[in-house]
Amino acid sequence: MEKDSEILKQLKSINGKLDILINLTRLSAPKQKPTKEEEKIFSLCNMKNTVADMIEKTGKKRGNVEVVLISLRNKSLINSNNIKDKETGKRKTVYSKV
C-alpha cells in the first residue's frame, strides 16, 4: 500500500514536469494560423457566438464545427469561456481569440 502511494506520487511529479515541457515547447514553436477551412469559424470567435450560432451562420454540421473548434484550441488560437446570457440568465459557452 505504501509502495503504491510512492509510485502515485512519482507519477504525479512526472506528469507535472511533462506539462511544463509541453508548455515550453508551445511557447517556442511558431504561432500557428487557421487554415482557410478554419477561418470561417475562427472569425466567429468573438465572445458572442456559441456552437449553435456558428452552425446557423456557417451552415456546417455540429460535428464539423466542434472539430474545427478543437483544432483551433489545439493550435492555441482560441479559448472557450462560460458566460451568463443577458437575456435568459443561463450560462453559455462562447469562444474568443487568444
Query: pLDDT tens digits, residue range 52-97?
Result: 999 999 999 999 999 999 999 999 899 999 999 888 899 999 999 9
How far apart CA 25 and CA 59 sit, in angstroms, is 36
Q: According to the model, what pLDDT value does residue 4 have?
A: 85
Distances (CA, A) of 93 to 12, 42, 70, 83: 30, 15, 14, 6
Identify which of 68, 65, 71, 64 has the alpha carbon closest to the alpha carbon of residue 32.
71
Q: What is the mean pLDDT of residues 30-53?
A: 94
Q: What is the mean pLDDT of residues 11-37?
A: 87
For residue 96, the surrounding DSSP H or E stretch is strand 91-97
Residues with Cβ within 8 Å of residue 33, at least 6 apart in sequence = 77
Q: What is the mean pLDDT of residues 17-35?
A: 86
